Amino acid sequence: MPASSPDGTGASIWTLWAGVIGGWAAVVAGKVASNTIEHGEAIHEIMEKHENMALLTMALFTVVLAWRLFRRFQMPAQELAFTRMLSIVGLLGLVWTGVLGGRLVFQHAAGIPSKVLQAEIENREKGHEHGTMDSTKTDSTKTTAPHTHPPGTPPHSH
């Protein structure tokens, strides 16, 4: 059969194989990380949801791959449509797993050691300056180029 056949014998099956292998590698890496990063109860709760979604998603994609291999890609249209529907459900699970992972990192700083996070908090409290400094002038005469903020940025001072 040609590589572009509709029953999934070409690039789609190789992509499914790569996704399943890579997905299970990510699950293992996540499990190792969950046992090594500093975290409190809030992170732990989201981590559990993230892990459960990852396991469910990978189980679903593994079932789709196994079924396609078992049927040797000779599935009637209804069965092929069903495995495609399962793949769409798996994609939604993958997206939700990513959303939970994003929350871990961007809302709770999961994986960032407390010492580093504390140093960053202190650094942010000191403030910052936008623009470029003219390095040819002495410290007392350096000027900062004016800057603008994107629309909708709340008022603040520097």
> Residue 134 contacts by C-beta under 8 Å, 6 or more apart in sequence?
142, 143
- Whether the model clears a pTM of 0.85, i.e. scores above it, the answer is no
Under 8 Å between Cβ of 144 and 129: yes
Q: How far is the CA of 50 from the CAs of 2, 3, 57, 64, 144, in angstroms?
A: 38, 35, 10, 21, 44
Q: What is d(CA 39, CA 108) in angstroms, rounded to the nearest whole number? A: 9
Consecutive sets of 10 residues in the chain, 158 residues long: mean pLDDT of each?
51 90 96 89 93 97 93 84 94 97 93 90 85 58 62 72
Q: What is the pLDDT of residue 154?
A: 77
Q: Can you read off the two tokens belonging to residue 120?
A: 């960053």
Under 8 Å between Cβ of 142 and 134: yes
| Domain boundaries defined on the chain | 11-116
